[in-house]
Amino acid sequence: PIAVSRKYSIATMGADGIGPEVVDASVEVLKKLVQVDGGFELDFENFDWSSETYKKTGKYIPDGGLEQLKKHDAILFGAVGAPDVPDHISLWGLRLAICQPFQQYANVRPTKIFRGTSSPLRKAEHGDLDWVIVRENSEGEYAGQGGRSHRGHPWETATEVAIFSRVGVERIIRFAFETAQKRPRKFLTVVTKSNAQRNGMVLWDEVASEVAKDFPDVKWDKMLVDAMTCRMVLDPKSLDTIVATNLHADILSDLAAALAGSIGIAPTSNLDPTRQNPSMFEPIHGSAFDITGKGVANPVGTFWTAAEMLIWLGEEDAARKMMEAVENVTERGISTKDLGGNANTKEVTDAVIQELEKVY
Ligand code: ATP
Ligand code: MG
């Protein structure tokens, strides 16, 4: 046997709802991948932080938890959110409580139409829609700034202040240009709402023009977010890499996932591009309590998530083969209900595991 020099430690955290089901399925696939590839190793440590722990202890993350988590090379995350915990508590309690201290300021969401699946766009098919949405993940509209006064009175007011720092805007736009530069088309669309929002969004426009000078080989254009939704539907082939604020990109990426066929197939990477902290990888879907425990969740979004994690760790070849196996399976029509099939989580997982033998 060849000595393995590349070894990565992965923290897994399924958290709530279908999260543990799809993360467990992905760990099975990753273990098989390691076995057939033979060139690298993965060590898994599971963290059982979830809304259940929160309800028992009042905390999502135990004391010293972040230090434990920081020892790993990457985090494979499921979903957070429970019917009996307000969404803003669970989101800030776990997901953002990891993203923010770990400075995962770039959120990356690729979208494509898988072989054998169909888009609700009448004319779009496999290959026609191939985007990467780069979402600002540390400030903007979700900075948590603002407050409420005169609670409960008719004259109550609330402010939700969007924060845009030059440093924050520059680093995400630079990251987006770098992302675009690595892709074959080298094309970036910068999305704002700078006609109506004349401070932060105008700063985005200015910074984009400045940063663009450092990337003469990347073509780019600007879009207002409202017009962007039309362009995604009417002219998907005209887009490649897209960068937008925390709120705008959140909305655009759900639209992108739906246009690609299902919310159940798309991944998200929360990256610390400085690599001082582990980055976190998760499917874009949520905890989906309506199907939790039934064994029918689509694991493909988390498989793709795991492949994106491998790319970040430097295992691009294994990631490509894993995706090839996944697409071979969807192409054969083995898929869950959301993709029009009738397979369950285990059947899709087993099919991918079998397929891995063939692609290697
Ligand atoms: P959140 O509040 O975190 O967004 P959610 O419970 O609202 O989570 P979403 O993930 O947003 O659920 O998904 C909306 C619906 O899409 C779910 O109720 C579920 O029916 C379906 N869905 C989501 N993910 C999957 C999946 N992986 N497989 C199959 N169906 C899914
Ligand atoms: Mg939801």
- Residues 117-166: tens digit of each pLDDT: 888 887 788 888 999 999 999 999 998 899 999 999 999 999 999 999 99
pLDDT at 117: 87
User: From the CB of 282, is ligand 1 less than 6 Å away?
Assistant: no
Ligand 1 atom 17: the closest Cα is on which residue?
Answer: 288
Least distant ligand from the CA of 17? 1
Q: Are 11 and 76 in contact (CB under 8 A)?
A: yes
Strands (E), 16-149: 40-46, 74-79, 106-112, 130-136, 140-149
User: Tokens 């273990």 appear where?
Assistant: 31
Q: Provide the pLDDT confidence category of residue 261 given band limits of 50, 70 and 90.
A: confident
From 133, 187, 134, 171, select the one nearest 273 (Cα to Cα): 171
Reduced to 3 states (helix: H, G, I; strand: E, B; else coil), residue 65 is helix
pTM exceeds 0.90 for this model: yes
From 196, 121, 124, select the one nearest 162 (Cα to Cα): 196
Q: Provide the pLDDT confidence category of residue 13 given band limits of 50, 70 and 90.
A: very high
Nearest atom of ligand 1 to the alpha carbon of 283? 27
User: From the CB of 287, is ligand 1 less than 6 Å away?
Assistant: yes
Please report, rounded to a whole number, the percentage of residues in the chain having pLDDT higher than 90.
89
pLDDT at 3: 60
User: From the CB of 264, is ligand 1 less than 6 Å away?
Assistant: yes
User: From the CB of 301, is ligand 1 less than 6 Å away?
Assistant: yes
pLDDT at 70: 97
Output b/e per residue, 112-133; b: 16+ Cβ within 10 A.
bbbbbbbbebeebebeebbbbb
First-last CA distance in the chain = 17
Q: Is the ipTM of this complex over 0.85?
A: yes
Structure tokens at 122: 């009448």
Least distant ligand from the CA of 86? 1
Distance of CA 352 from the midpoint of ligand 1 (Å):
22
pLDDT at 127: 81
Per-residue pLDDT at 25 exceeds 80 = yes
Per-residue pLDDT at 226 exceeds 90 = yes
Structure tokens at 211: 């940063």
Structure tokens at 43: 């060590």
Ligand 1 atom 21: the closest Cα is on which residue?
Answer: 288
User: From the CB of 297, is ligand 1 less than 6 Å away?
Assistant: yes
Per-residue pLDDT at 1 exceeds 60 = no
Nearest atom of ligand 1 to the alpha carbon of 81? 3
pLDDT, average across residues 93-116:
94
Q: What is the radius of gyration, based on Cα positions, of the chain?
A: 20
Structure tokens at 47: 């963290």
